[in-house]
A and B are shown apart, each in its own frame.
Chain A
Amino acid sequence: MSEQNKILNDITSKEYEYGFVTDIETETLPKGLSEDIIRRISALKQEPEWMLERRLEAYRKWLTMPLPEWAHLRIPPIDFQEVIYFAAPKKSPDKKSMDEVDPKLRETFDKLGIPLEEQMALAGVAVDAVMDSVSVKTTFRETLAEKGIIFCSMSEAIREYPELVKKYLGSVVPYGDNFYSALNAAVFSDGSFCYIPKGVRCPMELSTYFRINAAGTGQFERTLIVADEGAYVSYLEGCTAPMRDENQLHAAVVEIIVEKDAEVKYSTVQNWYPGDAEGKGGIYNFVTKRGICRGDNARLSWTQVETGSAITWKYPSCILKGDNSVGEFYSVALTNNFQQADTGTKMIHIGKNTRSRIVSKGISAGRSENSYRGLVKVVPAAEGARNYSQCDSLLIGDKCGAHTFPYIDVQNPSAVVEHEATTSKISDDQLFYCNQRGLGTEEAVGLIVNGYAKEVLAKLPMEFAVEAQKLLSISLEGSVG
């Protein structure tokens, strides 16, 4: 018992590594939300009329919607009129090329370990970097264009590929889907757009890096990924933000469309600022991510490593419409100090012989609350559906909480749905064993946690997996005495 108390008393958070602020001039719109602000966002982005109409429609819908309160989260009231909905790094007037990236910005991404060109070229990853509300640089566009792959910012996609955007945007997450998706549809500023044409295997990992920099600003990016018949792409997403005392809002929407015989792998390492050890500040991360396997034999896989944000509300989901389509969700969610996470997935089985697999690994430390919430739904027509779910929770200390809310809705008798759940603690015996072999306690905790999360980490692309492993250890530093 005294050991447990000691662990708890010693809980302090390691300084957040990415908490710096880039001193760069930003153009912002006044705070608050109104039709006027939405018109100004649309105008700043030189959008066509139809896009503005869609935004306004979403805004009007949003006004009628109540805040979702069903999650196992304590969310302080948010004043949506206090948020700045658009901020962009100011472009120097003397730069002619739009592609020229401000050295300060480049420095920011270098600091984050995201060099936009040379190193990524070596690693073979194409990057779209989004700072505050706009995309600042997309690499490798020409190489990708040779294969007919489109990878650009959402703003450009709206201007240059309106037919594709019209066809797919909002087709998986309609604007009225939920409170935050409606808000996003009204004010989204930028994000990435990716289209892989029929039969093309994307030759490199595509990656978007999101950074919130400006104070008082919300980030509302929108990502749309379309894999046409027989296409393949692996997509990575990373996120960080400065340390600020205030809470900042992040309400993104990601939509993925997977056509017949196509495959999309979407990996996230989410490391938004989690707030300090007393629970002050941090990002509110209210994200809607959903993909549809539209055609037969389509495959969609979500892998997420969630270590940041003060509050996380996120359920990357798969609609398995095509026959024999496959949905997967692999998640590690780590909460420390006063962080709260309510995350999981939805697997909606519609097609015949559809299969889904859910592996969720929650890790709670400090006074944090970590919930898994998942829905497995099998509609009457989904003959032969299969689901396997595994939800594990690991507790560090005795002031944190882990919760599992599995919802299972099966309407076809041929379905086989399995659910396994475990809850464990890092035992004093494990720590003693590691210590006795010469490992320090923090190193031991990092090792045990990474071992626990291994099954999910193994699903990440190599370079991401290494980063995620380090991140898990760092996020727990100081959590054990």
Chain B
Amino acid sequence: MSFDIALWLVQDGVTNGAIYALLALAMLLVFAVTRVIFVPQGEFISYAALSLALLQAGRLPGVVYVLVGGGLVAAALDIALALREKAPARLPRIVALYVLVPCVMAALAWWAAPRSVGLPLQVLIVLGLVVPLGPILYRVAYQPLASASVLVLFIISMAAHYALTGLGLVFFGGEGLRSEAFSDARFKLAVLDITAQSLWVVGASFVLMFALRLFFEKTFYGKALRATAVNRIGARLVGIPAELSGSLSFLLAAFIGAVSGILISPITTIYYDTGFLIGLKGFVGAIVGGMGSYPLAVAGSIGIGLLEAFSSFWASAFKETIVFTIIIPVLLWRSLRSRHIEDEEE
């Protein structure tokens, strides 16, 4: 292998690794706050990537139906609960969040689809379509069983993953799509030929990580979310509602998933089920980082990206096998070395 091939692989690895790192962070956040292994993360990637490509092709992304439909289900559940608890004061807020926001976003997408509104607005519309799906998913699938065991929550995750993949197939179809590059610029750096897109990916990932850090350290709601992750009983005792932190963590995870999807959509062709594999690699990154430490998860994910790049060079047929097999030695090493932690049951 020559030096410039190695450099090229490093560039590729770091670009993908940055995406995995984002996904790993979302995975850790959701797990720490809600104990949910967030398997459906990948669907947010696919939905966002496909929506962007469709908007650019001048078509209305089918995700609007998922959004409006899911919003109606979530609203119905919350309205039933509010009526049962005799709290009609909550109704306007429920309708605004779960009915009005999805409808406005859908209308905006419908308006924008046939027009060339430009990349920044398209990205905003895609975020507006995909991100609200996070809290809606939490409300519909997880909140009714929020205090169940980790295993039950995991099974819910699998079900949500299959349901969302199926909906993806129904509303996006089976064809793969790729969106236009944010910019066609390339930069020569010594022997390295850097594409603007990979700079976008790495740059946006790190800006987002930094923003998340600020959110968790400086804002009251960020601190409340961290507090829930650190001590769930303590959080309830100071009056932080479990539904609020659950909803908020899913909102952030959906945002991260959607941003990842938007960033990679010009790099790879995305099908309705592509996101799962990408999300899974973020999960591997989180596991390599010990499912607890954010910096280690970022390092682990970038390691996964590099491993993937180099194995696709040396043994491209076994690329995925190598990446997923790495979990076994990592888990062995961690379980031999760490003290035994029981599955948390409350």
Tell whether A and B belong to one assembly: no
